[in-house]
Amino acid sequence: MKKRLMAFCILVLFFGVSYTRAIDIKTGVEGFSLALRADIDGLFSFYKDWNRAPKSPLRFPDRAYLGLYSEYKDVGIEASYYIYKPWASGSLAEYSHFWHKLFFYWKPSETLMIKAGLFDLNFGLKFDSTWWMALQWPLGLEEPYDTGLGIEYHGKKTPLNVYLSYFREKEGTYQQPAAYDPAPGTGEKDIIVGRVTYPFKLGGSTKLEIGLAGYHGRTQANTINETAWSAGNRNMFDADITLSLPIGLTFSGEYMHFKYSAVASDGSLWMPMSGFGMPDYFATPLEADVFWLDGIYTRPLNYKFLQSISLANNFSAVKSKDGRDIYQNTVSLQFKSVSTYTWIEWIMYKNETLPDPGWNWNVTIILRYSL
């Protein structure tokens, strides 16, 4: 235990005194830009149950992120790569790295962008306020990345934003996932996603943005854990709202509804989800309403090694049609310097599909160093 505490103290010291800026490479070529980014995360966690075997509270490094951003006039590329520390057992013991995104884009005008490759479906809000994910993430509703074609429109006179994408295949494989996917077959195919957002200025620096999105995808027939699943569709709807106040306070709310038409041979109302190399890592109800409530307050500071402090809370709930629900709440205290980020988060989680449906909790300290 003393060794673990010593390692943790060294880690805190290392992250606390680092003072390095992001890498923005000056090429000297007119119209050409190139930027590199690298993050490395370390975790120090305490669990109550959490439906997993006991493990060391210190995990460093937990994950590294490598990013590249380059543009020449009206064309460019964005790429990012994840590297996870291999686990002692399970899929990540062997498969611990994958492309997060990799796409090319072209801007034929100031309002249009066309892109191709592995990129975000852009369905719904993102869990930016906390390090720990919201419940939408393991359900494959948030931050999914697939390979396809997309077009974006960003109005100038009328600030309307329109996103339309088509994805033929899911990203990667079960062994190298970038997000969760429905497990039957190889995830989803022929995914069509449309999203519209519109920002309002309410006076001063107060902003209100509303968003609507629709989603259609096809799941494939397969057999998992001796249960045969038919082919089917997944249809989803999203409505969200974000309010940003000039005092550094932001609130957001989101409602989603989704429904799978696939049928299980045993009559199951929950479909396995693939993730981290395993075809049954999680499960999603075939039909549910999903709710998200989020708030974050950020106070700028004028210290050499501390630029801001934030307090955030994220609540998400999955209300399934069969009456077995999932709840999660995350309270997050955050510290930001030039190149270091620290999150102290308390996560409470309740899953009524488990044998013990009571509340579990997890306290995690996350330390990130960014170039």
pLDDT of residue 184: 57
Q: For residues 257 and 290, is the Cβ–Cβ distance under 8 A?
A: yes
Question: Dihedral, CA atoms, 161, 253, 200, 245, nearest 10 degrees?
Answer: -130
Give the amino acid at 172.
G
pLDDT of residue 210: 97
pLDDT of residue 342: 92
Q: For residues 316 and 292, is the Cβ–Cβ distance under 8 A?
A: yes
Q: CA-to-CA distance for 90 and 101, rounded, in angstroms?
A: 24
1 CB contacts (<8 Å, ≥6 apart)? none
Residue with more model confidence, 109 or 97: 109
Structure tokens at 91: 């899929």
For residues 128-153, one letter each, b for 16 or more C-beta atoms within 10 angstroms of the residue's C-beta and e for the rest, the string is ebbbbbbbbbbbbbbbbbbbbebebe
Sorting pLDDT into bands at 50, 70 and 90, what band is 171? low
Q: Which residue do the tokens 């709930």 mark?
A: 317
Q: CA–CA distance from 31 to each of 74, 78, 116 (Å)?
A: 9, 16, 22
Structure tokens at 239: 């409505």
Q: For residues 282 and 313, is the Cβ–Cβ distance under 8 A?
A: no
Domains parsed from the chain with CATH numbers: 2-370 (2.40.160.10)
Phi first, then psi: what are they for 254, rounded to 5°?
-150, 140
Q: CA-to-CA distance for 312 and 134, rounded, in angstroms?
A: 13
Q: CA-to-CA distance for 258 and 318, rounded, in angstroms?
A: 11
245 CB contacts (<8 Å, ≥6 apart)? 205, 206
Residue with more model confidence, 324 or 63: 324
Q: CA-to-CA distance for 241 and 214, rounded, in angstroms?
A: 15
pLDDT of residue 69: 92
Q: CA-to-CA distance for 263 and 270, rounded, in angstroms?
A: 10
Q: Quick one: DSSP state of residue 192?
A: E
> Looking at 137-146, 181-190, 344-353, which range is the least confident one?
181-190
Structure tokens at 64: 């590294």
pLDDT above 50 for 21: no
Q: For residues 128 and 332, is the Cβ–Cβ distance under 8 A?
A: no
- Strands, E, within 73-206: which ranges? 75-84, 97-106, 112-120, 145-154, 161-169, 181-182, 188-201
pLDDT above 60 for 9: no
User: 110-145 pLDDT, tens per residue?
Assistant: 999 999 998 888 888 877 789 888 888 777 777 667
What one-character-per-residue DSSP string does 288-357 give?
EEEEEEEEEEEEEEEETTEEEEEEEEEEEEEEETTS--EEEEEEEEEEE-SSEEEEEEEEEEEETTSSS-
Sorting pLDDT into bands at 50, 70 and 90, what band is 3? very low
pLDDT above 80 for 191: yes
pLDDT of residue 114: 97
How much helix, strand and coil, in percent to the nearest 5, is found in the chain?
5, 60, 35
Give the range with max mean pLDDT: 22-26, 250-254, 301-305: 250-254
Q: For residues 74 and 105, is the Cβ–Cβ distance under 8 A?
A: no
Strand 270-275 and strand 306-320: pairing?
unpaired
pLDDT of residue 120: 85
pLDDT of residue 87: 59
